Amino acid sequence: SRSLRLAVIPGDGIGQEVVAEGLKVLAAALPGDVKLETTEYDLGARRYHASGETLPDEVLAELKTHDAILLGAIGDPSVPSGVLERGLLLKLRFAFDHHINLRPGKLFPGVASPLAGSPQIDFVVVREGTEGPYVGNGGSLRTGTEQEVATEVSLNTAFGIERVVRDAYRRAAARPRKKLTLVHKNNVLVHAGHLWTRIFQQVGQEFPEVSTDYLHVDAATIFFVTQPERFDVIVTDNLFGDILTDLAAAVTGGIGLAASGNINPSGAFPSMFEPVHGSAPDIAGQGKADPTATVLSVAMLLDHLGFTAEAAKVEAAVAADLAERGNAGTRSTTEVGDALVGRVSG
């Protein structure tokens, strides 16, 4: 019999609650002969306060031995900004070379969009995950004084861009519309922008069936709200992808529904799946959090591990659940999870 060795990082706030539901749905969706083995890791604000640790080397080494990672949410206002982001979340992405940050933007039937007229939205953002302004290559001089100067360096390599661009072309080629949009700011960030543009055009020659276009990031935000149906696959840099995928979540019904994968397609390291939302300390522990984004992240995890039919089943369960929610009273976190388990098992 096969097994799936999953590392679970529930994290902070609502992370615990939504991950519990995600695991229930995962267990229900997996084929009967696959044994799900989970190991839980206590990381996040609590551990940081208790021991000062964000991601100890031993934990990193243990995480590496798993097939995949499921993460809930990390963060708490009691921890200074940047400590858990750089010391845990980004450290994981860099250590496991998660260069494909995959974030679907899909407006499911029945979900209210803040956009008038509820447009058809079904695109996916392929965000670069290991370069750009996220590399942590910044510093400051005369820190804390009136003469302080602070820098942040965006590092971009042909190697790093080519692999994410090729991945995006492959995904576009596999979709019905076969359309790929590069988003950057190549009229201002000319060096990074021209490198992205050159590689985008170069790799495109291998995919003549994919139609392409280019948008500056500022213009892209306009189309996200005025014409989101124009997008199929979007490939973009780390920071622009961060910004655009929150906006994508907003126009497709909110971050309560937005899933993501931090993927290393080579399999050399485990990929990690997590809802885009944060730890929402204001509603933590109240059983109010919507676990749907986590469940959709579980669908991405299944798909990544080759359980394609099972992934589709989970996504279909979510779609059916969302379509029927209507104006029904608000359900608790476990009620939503149970409903999804029911659909997946049914």
Ligand X SMILES: CC(C)[C@H](C(=O)O)[C@@H](O)C(=O)O
Q: How many CB atoms lie within 10 A of CB 319?
A: 17
Residue 48 token pair: 């940081």
Residue 285 marked as a ligand binder: yes
Q: Given candidates 36, 174, 188, 222, which one binds ligand X under the rule CB under 6 A?
A: 188
Q: Given candidates 42, 159, 174, 342, which one binds its own copies under the rule CB under 8 A?
A: 159
332: DSSP letter: P
Q: Name the binder of 76 from its own copies, ligand X, none, CB < 5-8 A by kind.
A: none
Q: Name the binder of 114 from its own copies, ligand X, none, CB < 5-8 A by kind.
A: its own copies
Contact status: 189 vs its own copies (CB under 8 A): yes
Per-residue binding letters, 78-97, with ligand X (x by CB under 6 A): -------x---xx-------
Residue 193 token pair: 């922008």
Residue 2 marked as a ligand binder: no
Q: Which residues contact 99 (CB under 8 A, 6 or more apart)?
A: 128, 129, 130, 131, 160, 163, 164, 263, 264
Residue 279 marked as a ligand binder: yes
On whether the CB atoms of residues 274 and 297 are closer than 8 A, the answer is yes
In the chain the first and final C-alpha atoms are separated, in Å, by: 23
Residue 343 token pair: 């659909």
Q: Which helix (H) or strand (E) holds 101?
A: strand 100-106
Q: Name the binder of 149 from ligand X, its own copies, none, CB < 5-8 A by kind.
A: its own copies
Q: Given candidates 81, 187, 327, 330, which one binds ligand X under the rule CB under 6 A?
A: 187
Cα angle for residues 214, 215, 219 (degrees, 5° grid): 165
Binding residues for substrate: 93, 103, 127, 218
Q: Enumerate binding residues for its own copies (CB under 8 A).
A: 81-82, 85-86, 90, 112-117, 133-134, 138-140, 144-159, 162, 185-195, 197-198, 217-219, 221-222, 224-226, 239, 242-247, 249-251, 254-255
